[in-house]
A and B are shown apart, each in its own frame.
Chain A
Amino acid sequence: MKVKRLASWLWPVIPILAALLFTSGLLLLYKASPIDSFRAMYDGAFGDQSKTLSVLAFWAPLTLSAVGLLVTFTAGLWNIGVEGQIILGSIAASWVALKLDLPSPFLQVSAEILAAMLGGALWAGIAAVFKTRGGVNEIFGGLALNNLAIILTNYLISGPWQPPEGGSFRGTQPFPPDALLPRFAESRFSPLSMIMAFVAIAVIIVMLRGTFWGLKLKALGKNPFSAFLLGVSSEREVILAMMVCGALAGLGGAVRVLSWFDSLRQSISGGIGFLALLVVMLANFQGYWVPFIAVFFSAVLNGSISLQLRTQLHSSLGGILTGVMVLFVLLFSDIGAFKWARREKRE
């Protein structure tokens, strides 16, 4: 009994320890001190105000995409295409920013955000229709569309949208300040993006738990065949769920171009979609965990990038740290004491 209770308290610590141990081993292989490196990562994430703001600026699109994925996971869909949906959101927002000039900044930014959500939803909708009408698994459809979105970005910034002084393959010209999200101080962080993320979390959690549509999605995710027998039209729900996720991911993409950068860049998403998938898995598909885990991921990623700048150690260390943790939780979570504690309560 006592051992089990102790274990249930300790359980959340174990995956973190496992990941730290594994990455420490890698660091020792490169004759780097793990303690110094982890401290450097922490400083790189929260060392001063501008770094903390960077973590938050990275957090917003990550959380938005992860929240979207809650919807598709509930419906039993593996929306790997979320990465491409973020990129399409960025492209659509950039399109409005470059081609439209509306009288007020509010209208301008609203139009950009709306376009981004539509763009993301469209890209997700294509993957969904390929699934329902073409029998193409959403994993493969999404993956192909991810790569096509990257290729489209490269085409745009090296072709029609290249800056007037000539194509550099790096990005479009910076958008006018009125077309950007209002940013906090001199940072990349826009408080508005944080508000959008929290609103999205609240809306999606309520929608999934409290509405009939949420129930339908749950039925679809748990058992598609009986959902069909109960009259849940799977095609409509699949397409809708994907498009809701795509819209949120697209919103995340808008935040990328309108606050993290000020223009459309080559690797505009940089793997945020894949990270969002990991965030949701680590959150055990529970919405209220998503924002906290996203803070952690964002901190690790930003920390590992500044570690690379300082020590030349490759920044993929951050990805390894989070990846090992997710793998560990995925494999062992129900052997973990959480389940024991729950079982005891039931008895």
Chain B
Amino acid sequence: MNDAEFVRMMASIILASSPLIIAVCGETITERAGVVNLSLDGTMLMAAMTGFVMGLKTENIWLGFLAGAIVGAVFGAIVAYGSISLGKSQVAVGFVLTLLGDDLSAFLGQNFTRIPGQVVKHLGIPLLKDIPIIGPIFFNQDMVVYFSYILIIVTWLFISRTQPGLHLRSSGERPEAAFARGVNVRRVRYLYTMLGGALVGIAGAAYSLDVKIGWSEGATRGLGWIALAIVIFGGWSPVRGALGAILFGATKAVATILQRTFPEISVVAFNAIPWVLMLAVLFVVGSDVTERLIEFMPKRLQPPLRRMLRITAPLALGSSIAEE
């Protein structure tokens, strides 16, 4: 592989990872506030379909993204309403919405499959795109990719460095204490479930308008689940989550190259990679075996390894809140 090919491959990995990064940031926000929005797979399908059709009908790509965001916010609102106002299982509501979103997108999108539509325009950033190697990989992309960069930084800054971010975290860690300190936990959770959902919706629209252009039944099926797993792998940190999303994209790209080099190995083996990877990374970050292995390491290496390989969930994740 020569330099030009390498750069092209890296650039395509960054582009393909950007919707996943947006979805992971959205779900990270939601989960840090203490709500699991399990409906991601259905939300993304619905948003991909709606975004594509909206872009097609209005000939305005930004309205497509807006429509995707609204769909995501509505799905988030249903999860929030069910879990916060009615005290139902977040998992149950999210799961039913996953299936419903899948079926709804198939039904409503049935006349819009495999037709051309609006596409996000390529937009290189002047000066930055001329930096050797880094430029063409990171800054010769389009608005969706740049949005994902900004989102990683903003999400991280917001969660860990601002007052509202503190309220967000406290709602997910110690809701009772937060409530006692005057945080309106219900409102915070509602807000961030809808905001996170809107970002997931934007991610769905980014697939049909930018990465896998167009709509076909079940176009993004599975990616929502992968995003949910990456949130866990990322230890509920937007930065680590984004790295996870890029790693996932890179693995797929490497698999495609391997497939071309070794045509005798069945395609099937390569299709299995994402799911084996999902099991493996969740096992590594969740298992006691990892902890025991870390204890074998030299003392000095232990803390950084633990930071890298272990995760802790927000304490009150998935819990209901009793404010009375």
Q: Interface of A with B (CB < 8 Å)?
A: 26, 29, 78, 80, 130, 133-137, 139-141, 143-145, 147-148, 151-152, 154-155, 158-159, 274, 277-278, 281, 313-314, 316-317, 319-320, 323-324, 326-327, 330-332, 335
| A319 and B97 alpha carbons, distance in the complex (Å) | 11
Kindly state whether residue B124 has any CB partner on chain A within 8 Å.
no
Q: Is the CB of B268 within 8 A of A154?
A: yes
Kindly state whether residue B222 has any CB partner on chain A within 8 Å.
yes
Q: Is the CB of A141 within 8 A of B282?
A: yes
- Nearest to B270 among chain A residues (CB) is A151
Interface bits B53-86 vs A (CB < 8 Å: 1, else 0): 0000000000000000000000000100110001
Q: Is the CB of B278 within 8 A of A140?
A: yes
What are 26 sample pairs from A and B whose C-beta atoms fall under 8 A apart? A26-B107, A78-B95, A80-B95, A133-B287, A133-B288, A134-B289, A135-B285, A135-B286, A135-B287, A139-B38, A140-B228, A140-B278, A151-B275, A152-B268, A158-B268, A277-B95, A281-B96, A314-B106, A316-B106, A316-B107, A319-B99, A319-B100, A323-B103, A331-B81, A331-B82, A331-B88
Q: Is the CB of A330 within 8 A of B92?
A: yes
Interface bits B208-251 vs A (CB < 8 Å: 1, else 0): 00000000000000100100110010000000000000000000
Q: Is the CB of A136 within 8 A of B110?
A: no
Q: Is the CB of A140 within 8 A of B225?
A: yes
| A316 and B104 alpha carbons, distance in the complex (Å) | 7
Q: Smallest CB–CB gap between B54 and chain A, Å?
A: 15
Chain B interface mostly helix, strand, loop or mixed? helix
- Supposing A140-B225, A147-B222 touch, asked if A319 and B103 sit within 8 A by C-beta, the answer is yes
Chain A interface mostly helix, strand, loop or mixed? helix
Q: Is the CB of A139 within 8 A of B91?
A: yes
Q: Smallest CB–CB gap between A307 and chain B, Å?
A: 12
Q: Is the CB of B272 within 8 A of A148?
A: yes
Q: Is the CB of B279 within 8 A of A26?
A: no
Q: Smallest CB–CB gap between A256 and chain B, Å?
A: 20
Q: Smallest CB–CB gap between B252 and chain A, Å?
A: 14
What residues on B are CB-neighbors of A141 within 8 Å?
279, 282
- Nearest to B41 among chain A residues (CB) is A143
Kindly state whether residue B108 has any CB partner on chain A within 8 Å.
yes
20 additional A-B pairs beyond A29-B108, A278-B99, beta carbons within 8 Å, are: A80-B95, A130-B279, A134-B289, A135-B283, A135-B285, A136-B283, A140-B282, A141-B279, A143-B225, A148-B275, A151-B271, A278-B96, A281-B96, A313-B110, A314-B106, A314-B110, A319-B102, A327-B78, A327-B97, A330-B82
Q: Is the CB of B100 within 8 A of A134?
A: no
| A320 and B97 alpha carbons, distance in the complex (Å) | 10
| A80 and B225 alpha carbons, distance in the complex (Å) | 12
Q: Smallest CB–CB gap between A327 and chain B, Å?
A: 5
Q: Interface of B with A (CB < 8 Å)?
A: 38, 78, 81-82, 86, 88, 91-93, 95-97, 99-100, 102-104, 106-108, 110, 222, 225, 228-229, 232, 266, 268-269, 271-272, 274-276, 278-279, 282-283, 285-289
Q: Smallest CB–CB gap between A283 and chain B, Å?
A: 13
Q: Is the CB of A331 within 8 A of B93?
A: yes
Q: Is the CB of A155 within 8 A of B107?
A: no
What residues on A are CB-neighbors of B274 within 8 Å?
147
What residues on B are CB-neighbors of A140 within 8 Å?
225, 228-229, 232, 278-279, 282
- Nearest to A149 among chain B residues (CB) is B275
| A12 and B287 alpha carbons, distance in the complex (Å) | 45
- Nearest to A156 among chain B residues (CB) is B268
What residues on B are CB-neighbors of A281 within 8 Å?
92, 96
- Nearest to B287 among chain A residues (CB) is A134
Q: Is the CB of B91 within 8 A of A144?
A: no
Q: Is the CB of A159 within 8 A of B92?
A: no
- Supposing A130-B279, A140-B228, A314-B110 touch, asked if A155 and B287 sit within 8 A by C-beta, the answer is no
Q: Smallest CB–CB gap between B80 and chain A, Å?
A: 12
What residues on A are CB-neighbors of B82 within 8 Å?
330-331
